[in-house]
Amino acid sequence: MHKKRLSLIVAIIAVIAMVIIIYLANQQSTIILQGEVESSRVDVAARVQGRVVQFNYDVGDNVKQGDELLTLSNPALLAQLATAEAQLKVTMASRDNTYSTRPETIDVQKAQLDKANSDLVLAQTSYERINRLAKNGTVSKQSYDESFNQYQAAIKAYEAAKANLELAENGSSVEQKKLADAQVEQSEAALLQVKADINELTLVSPISGQITTRVAETGQLYSPGTPLYSIIDLNDIWFTFNLREDLLGNLKVGDTFQVKVPALNNQVIDVKVTVLNALGQYANWQATKATGDFDLKTFEMRAKPINKVTGLRPGMSVTTKWQSH
C-alpha cells in the first residue's frame, strides 16, 4: 500500500515537472515582435516646369483618381503652342502647293501642246510632199534634208509639250510629295508634344486615397519631377515585420497569425503573410562569438489583414507573439 502511494506521488511529480518544462520551453521560444502599419503611397509630380496658380486639395483631404489637384502656369509653353500651330499651317500649305498646280499653268501648257501639234501636222505634210518630189528627182537633197530635220524637230517639240502638260497636271514628283508629307507629320508631332506638355500643367490624382503631404505653394515655381503631393491608399494596407532568419522556421506566404494594434485599443487582427524578402547586408545580424557562431540574414515579412479594419493608419505600431522554431 505504501509502495503504491509512493509510486502515485512520483508519477504526479513527474507529470508536473514535464508540464513545467514544456511551459518554460514554450516561454523561451515565444518572443514579442514589433512591426509597423504601411500602405501604398504615390508622390505626385509635374512633368513640366510651372508656377502654382492654385491648389484644390490640402493635407487630410480625400481624393479620387482623376481629381484635379492643382494648376500650374507656364507662358513659355503657350508661346510654343502658338509657334507649333503656325508651323503646321505653313507645312500644310507647302504640301498643298506641292500636290497641286495652278489652273493658269495647265492652260499655258495646253496651249503649248496645241501649237506643237499644229507645227507637227504642218511639218509632216511638208515632209511628205518633199519626199514625193525627191523620189522624182525634182528637189535637191538639201531641201529634202531640211524638210526631214524640221519634221523630226516638230515631233520632239510635240513630245516635250505633251510631257510638260502631264507634269503640270500631275504636280510635283513622288519624292517631293513624300518630303512634303513628312514635314506635315513632323509639325503635327511637335504640336501634339506641346499640347501634351500643356495638359501636364493641370496635375491630377493618379489614385484614390488621402493626401498626407502638400509641398505646393501658390506662386512658387517648381522644376519638373518635384513631388508636390503625397497620397496614400488606405484600401491597400499591410503590416511589416523584420525577422531574423532563425526565427522563420517553416514560415511561408499564405500562413496566418494574429497581431495587436495598440493605437486601436490593442485590437486583435487576423492577418495573412503576403511577402517574404531578404533584406540587404545592412540588415544582417552579425555574430558576436569568435567561433561557433555565424551571421544571420534579416527578412522582411509583410502580412495583410484578412478582413478590412477601420482606423488603420500608416505608421501605427503593431505587435505579435512570435513562436520561434
Residue 40 pairs with which residues in a beta bridge?
Answer: 233
Q: What is the model's pTM? A: 0.60
From the list 162, 172, 169, 159, the residue with the least C-alpha distance to 106 is 169
Spatial separation of the C-alpha atoms in residues 200 and 80, rounded to whole Å: 14
Average pLDDT value for the chain: 84
How many Å apart are CA 118 and CA 112, to the nearest integer? 10
- Distances in whole angstroms, Cα of residue 188 to Cα of each of 18, 47, 307, 317: 85, 21, 52, 55
Asked if 233 and 209 count as a contact pair (C-beta separation under 8 A), the reply is yes
pLDDT reported for residue 30: 73
AA letter at 29: S
Query: Cα–Cα distance between 50 and 225 in angstroms, integer?
Result: 11
* pLDDT digits 0-9 by tens, 59-82: 999 999 999 999 999 999 999 999
Sequence-distant (≥ 6) Cβ neighbours of residue 150 within 8 angstroms: 123, 126, 127
* Closest listed residue to residue 239, CA positions, set 38, 72, 92: 38
CATH code for the domain defined by 81-195: 1.10.287.470
Helices 141-170 and 103-136: crossing angle, nearest 10°?
160
Instruction: Give dist(CA 240, CA 304) in Å, integer.
Output: 9
Q: For the residues 143-171, what does the mean pLDDT come to?
A: 83
State the pLDDT confidence band at 27, using cuts at 50, 70 and 90: low
**Reduced to 3 states, what is the DSSP secondary structure of residue 129?**
helix
Q: How many residues are present in the chain?
A: 325
Produce one character per residue of 251-280: b if its CB has 16 or more CB atoms within 10 Å, e if not.
Answer: beeeeebebbbeebeeeebebebeeeeeee
Whether the per-residue pLDDT at 315 is higher than 70: the answer is yes
Residue 172 pLDDT class (50, 70, 90 cuts): low
Is residue 209 classed as helix, strand or coil in its secondary structure?
Answer: strand
Give residue-wise pLDDT tens across range 254-306: 888 899 999 999 999 999 999 888 875 544 544 555 545 556 788 888 999 99
> What pLDDT sits at residue 283?
46
Residue 248: left if φ>0, alpha if ψ -120 to 50, beta else—which one? Answer: alpha
